[in-house]
Amino acid sequence: MTAPLRLGTRGSALAMAQSGHVAEALTAATGRPVELVEVVTAGDRSTAPVHRLGVGVFVSALRDALTAREIDFAVHSYKDLPTAAAPGLHIAAVPQREDPRDALVARDGRTLAELPPGARVGTGALRRIAQLHALGMQLEVTPIRGNVDTRLGRVLGPDAELDAVVLARAGLARLGRTDVITETLDPMLMLPAPAQGALAVECRIDDQDLVELLGVLDHAPSRAAVVAERALLATLEAGCSAPVAAYGELAEGDAGEEIYLRGAVISPDGTRDLRLSRTGTPADAAEIGKALAAELLELGADSILGQEGHAGPGTQQFGSTE
């Protein structure tokens, strides 16, 4: 019998759900059995705010295990990956992306517009904090950490002390918890993080048989959108926890399929909000992202990114893991 492929994953419920989905899809497509191997990362052990932990804090241990041949491949939340390629490793597949939008979970079924001034809204991402402040709704934004259930408990549990939380819709969908969503946020109000909702399936570049095997999971439109978004992030030289947002959508244009990429850089206190868009072909995905980032830099995005870490009025310093 063929030995099971060893898939490395973080141990959180969301990471296990994501990895389990990839394992099942690979077995269904190729017949190869897969076993999950839990790997504890530095981000899982720390209670510090995510934007203070550094880029790649949730993936370095997985990559170390890959390099040491303790696992055969790994599944990451793509938005957690540093933009620089890891030597000797290769993103063999980007499966079809989940809905990348953010979701609001609020008491009494409220939407964002129905939250009163002074409402306490929890979220872990500086990008979301900045955009909530930019709305000018006088919300009290509280940075929070913890897994999905922990954060939901802060608004829905018996000891709830928040009026709402903002989470990635994709995570709730993968955990089967979309029933708690009171509003899926329009990207015009809350532009997602680059690569939000996408997974990266990574293996060693010298394992060509596995590279080819994992390729059956790749979804070309999802990969093109993510390439554009991450090229923008890389050109801005910003980390995955910076107040940078990007969303690429593929649609039919006059001359065939094209990418419509929106990008934003928002100061943590919401007082400066740069938003631009650009279109091009999927083959030029990376160049679209680089060009849009260059336009944002011309408008002063670098000065906004220099303010990272100042989360704005009405905030405490915590963070998020997922």
Residues annotated as catalytic are 80
Cβ 49 vs Cβ 143: under 8 Å: yes
Beta carbons of 101 and 178 less than 8 angstroms apart? no
Residue with tokens 């390099």: 67
**Which is nearest to 268 in space by CA: 44, 47, 52, 46?**
52
Asked if 249 and 259 count as a contact pair (C-beta separation under 8 A), the reply is: yes
The Cα 265–Cα 288 span in angstroms is: 16
Phi, psi (degrees; rounded to nearest 5) at 119: -60, 140
Beta strand pairing call for 183-184 and 73-77: unpaired
CB 120 within 8 A of CB 163: yes
Token pair in block for residue 215: 């390729």
Q: Which secondary-structure segment (H or E) carries 286?
A: helix 285-298
* CA-atom Rg of the chain in angstroms: 19
Q: Are strands 199-204 and 34-38 parallel, antiparallel or unpaired?
A: unpaired
Point out which residues pair with 71 in neighbouring strands.
Answer: none
Tell me if residue 230 falls in helix, strand or coil. helix
